[in-house]
Amino acid sequence: MDHFRIVGPCRLVGRIRISGAKNAALPAMAAVLLTEDEVQLQNMPAVWDVETMGRILDIIGYDVAREGDVARFRQRRVQDLCAPYDLVRTMRASILCLGPLVSRFGYAKVSLPGGCAIGARPVNLHLAGLERMGAEIEVEHGYIIARCRRLCGADYTFEKVTVTGTENLMMAAALADGRTTLHNSAVEPEVTDLGEMLRCMGARIEGLGTRQLVIDGVKSLHGCCHPIIPDRITTGTYLVAGAITRGELVIENCRPSHLQAVLDILAAAGVRMEVMEDRITLTGNGPLRPVTFTTSPYPGFPTDMQAQLMSLMTQADGTSCIRESIFENRFLHAMELDRMGAKIRIDGNTALVYGPRPLQGATVTASDLRASASLVLAALAAKGETIVRRIYHLDRGYERMEEKLNALGATIERIRA
Residues lying near ligand EPZ in the complex (CB under 6 A) are found at 23, 26, 93, 119, 121-126, 160, 162-165, 190, 303-304, 326-327, 369-370, 397
- 246: closest CA among 289, 291, 283, 290? 283
Residue 11: CB minimum distance to ligand EPZ, A: 27
Q: Are 349 and 312 in contact, with CB atoms under 8 Å apart?
A: no
Residue 327: CB minimum distance to ligand EPZ, A: 5
Q: Are 330 and 263 in contact, with CB atoms under 8 Å apart?
A: no
Run of H or E residues at 343 = strand 343-347
Q: What share of the chain is helix, strand, coil (3-state, %, to 5)?
A: 35, 30, 35
Q: Are 322 and 330 in contact, with CB atoms under 8 Å apart?
A: no
Residue 219: CB minimum distance to ligand EPZ, A: 29
Residue 326: CB minimum distance to ligand EPZ, A: 5
Q: Are 100 and 31 in contact, with CB atoms under 8 Å apart?
A: yes
**116 in active site:** yes
Q: In this complex, which beta carbon is closest to ligand EPZ, that of residue 15 or of residue 160?
A: 160
- Contacts of residue 67, Cβ cutoff 8 Å, sequence gap at least 6: none
**Distance (Å, rounded) from C-alpha 197 to C-alpha 28?**
7
Backbone angles phi, psi at 116, to 5 degrees: -150, -175
Chain centroid, CA 380 distance in Å: 23
Residue 23: CB minimum distance to ligand EPZ, A: 4
Walk across the sheet containing 224-227 and list its strands. Answer: 62-67, 70-75, 39-42, 224-227
Q: Residue 270's CB: how many other CB atoms inside 10 A?
A: 17
Q: In this complex, which beta carbon is closest to ligand EPZ, that of residue 98 or of residue 316?
A: 98
Catalytic residue among 10, 82, 97, 116: 116
- Across the strands, what pairs with 364? 388
- Of the CA atoms within 13 Å of residue 133, those in its CB half-sphere come to 38
Pairing of strands 319-323, 350-354: antiparallel
Q: In this complex, which beta carbon is closest to ligand EPZ, that of residue 288 or of residue 369?
A: 369
Q: In this complex, which beta carbon is closest to ligand EPZ, that of residue 44 or of residue 123?
A: 123
Q: In this complex, which beta carbon is closest to ligand EPZ, that of residue 122 or of residue 270?
A: 122
Q: In this complex, which beta carbon is closest to ligand EPZ, that of residue 238 or of residue 327?
A: 327
**Distance (Å, rounded) from C-alpha 338 to C-alpha 158?**
38
Residue 36: CB minimum distance to ligand EPZ, A: 25
Active site residues: 116
